[in-house]
Amino acid sequence: WHAGRKIKGVPWDIPVVGFGGHTVNILRLWESRASEFFDWDVFNAGGYIDSQAEKAQAETISKVLYPNDETDAGKELRLIQQYFFCACSIKDIMRRYKRVHGSDFRNFAAQIAIQLNDTHPTVAIPELMRVLVDEEDLNWDAAWAICYQVFSYTNHTLLPEALEKWSVSLFEKVLPRHLEIIYEINTRFLNELVEPKWPGNDAIKAKLSIIEEGDVRKVRMGNLCVIGSCKVNGVAEIHSKLVKEDLFPEYAELWPEKMCNVTNGVTPRRWLLACNPELDALYNEVVGKEWPLQFMTIKRHNKEKLVKVIKAETGIDVSAEAIFDVQIKRLHEYKRQQLNLIHIMALYRRLLANPDYDMHPRVFIFGSKAAPGYKLAKDIIYAINKLAERVNNDARIQGKLKVVFMPNYRVSLAEKLIPAADVSEQISTAGYEASGTGNMKMALNGAITIGTLDGANIEIAEEAGAENCAIFGLNVDEVKSLKARGYNPYDLYYANSELKAVLDWFDTDYFTPGRPGELASIKRSLLEGGDPYLTLADFASYSEAHKLIDTWYRDPALWAKKAIINSATMGKFNSDRSIQDYVDRIWKLKSCNVG
């Protein structure tokens, strides 16, 4: 393979100091730069702008992670970007290994473990094979035996779009040698493993092949991950079960020991000690019987601090007396911010019909970003903001309902939102959320989860007790059953008058004066689009769960008990345990005591 152009990979090292540790680990990130910064020949010939084109093109690779891949140019940049980061890392790994072991690769798999975090770095598999075969002159079998032991794959979602597929034509253009290697991996896999297991079964071969045939031939990166890895794990018990039974059942039959689980974790050093110092101090000191009262006082302090942040960031006045109901996560239909949205609209409608409607004041707080090309997600963000404008300025509802969409959601903002949350919204369609970590962070800080039996919600409810969470909606089996029977959202639309009235609001200009139907895409997705994430199917149950939350909050002692139990039982979700699971189940590392 003769490269079409050369890019410099410049390492930037971020020190990572383990809690209570005496060593400093390094997180190495890569910046792309041109191998030649300035073309004097082009400049002197009058091409003053073109003389710096190589520099601009090279720097683009690491400028923005995950560019919009709606266009062909975006897809090509994204594949180049993935290859660049993988190639730099593998070159660095090889450099370090050869510095100690030279060209003897017998210890490589024992010394090196590469964890593929979803399918984005999958190209590292053919890249390592290329380096071992083309540059280090190993034969194929020896190289594959090493490669297979080195890689492990963590699946983070069951959604098809996350299991990347690249067109063969793009791969051939950008990475022709890697495509040859992928073809060879695939041929050997199908002939040596699939054919003996399922002789003559072309349907199984087509399903398990790395290459997807069709009008546009594609490289299935998820299949390559499973075939090229010694271990495959999901990130919560239910998710790992679905990965094994629904996503990759034939692979699990081929390699029963390959599939395993590592439930995600979060570090209490950041998500309690750093972001909630008052609660951390309470846990650290030896206290008497008054500490439950202190617990809720701390929650109140954190809410009062967030009131000021909300005012500064959005100009909206909210009261710390209200229930702070928080949904902070990527905007995606399966996470169902739209379910939260239509429930808020239903509450607003109830208050308009009866200003004395019996509910404790609520502040619904959102923090989210959408993928650049995800139009419906952006429409949902817009709708929440337009709803907020109307609700927050309507004197008729007497301040009982406020809606806040925090701009520029980020970790530093999450550190303010999470300690102040009373209610944690974890409302994905059952079977779609791999794990979630926001659910762990908010429960750790004394928020009560309103959620489906999905991802780590199931394990949170097991640890805290189901009675200390507001569980609602269809479970995984019920979701499958409903879809198998044939789900028609129009049935619910016509059967539930409140739901119909709320959805019909999207066709009017009530929230977008002078622009009727500007929010209609949301209604269309839930009706004409078939409501793929069963938002309407779970609406009634979700509404009832919120009434339960309201009842609990009116009993301060009961609420405090539930909040404290949630916080105190989150030990399982410590990232130390999660990392130790990777060490024990996947990497098989031995501890190294440093004097």
Pairing between strand 423-426 and 448-451? parallel
**Residue 437 appears among annotated catalytic residues:** yes
Residue of 357, 355, 423, 347 whose CA lies nearest to 387: 347
Residue type, 454: D
Told to judge if 299 belongs to the known catalytic residues of this protein, a careful annotator would answer no
Q: Which of 178, 231, 335, 523 is catalytic?
A: 335
Please give the C-alpha separations between residue 276 and each of 61, 263, 283, 294, 444, in angstroms, as whole numbers. Answer: 37, 24, 11, 13, 10
- Separation of alpha carbons 526 and 531, rounded Å: 4
Query: Which is catalytic among the residues 156, 177, 349, 483?
Result: 156
**Among 10, 198, 573, 93, residue whose Cα is nearest residue 581:** 573
Are the CB atoms for 96 and 102 separated by under 8 Å? no
441 part of the active site = yes
Catalytic residue among 55, 91, 98, 330: 330
CA dist 95 and 93 (Å) reads 5
- Whether 34 contacts 55, CB under 8 Å: yes
Pairing mode of beta strands 24-34, 7-17:
antiparallel
CA distance readout (Å), 33 to 4, 7, 8, 62, 124: 15, 6, 5, 9, 20
Q: Amino acid identity, residue 179?
A: L
Residue with tokens 């570090």: 267
Is 218 a catalytic site residue?
Answer: no
Whether 375 and 329 have beta carbons less than 8 Å apart is answered as: no
Q: Report the distance separating Cα 214 and Cα 537, nearest Å.
A: 35
Give the tokens for residue 339.
Answer: 């379910």
Catalytic residue check, 156 = yes
Q: Coil, helix or strand for 96?
A: helix
The Cα 505–Cα 519 span in angstroms is: 9
Is 263 assigned a catalytic role? Answer: no
* Contact between residue 146 and residue 105 where contact means Cβ atoms under 8 Å apart: yes
Q: Which of 120, 329, 336, 343 is catalytic?
A: 329
Q: Which of 239, 332, 441, 562 is catalytic?
A: 441
* Of 410, 387, 433, the residue nearest 328 (C-alpha): 410
Tokens of 250: 């034939």
The catalytically annotated residue of 437, 449, 452, 535 is 437
Between helix 176-189 and helix 140-150 the angle, nearest 10°, is: 90
State the distance between the two ends of the chain, measured CA to CA, in whole angstroms.
46
Provide the annotated active-site residues.
156, 329-330, 335, 437, 441
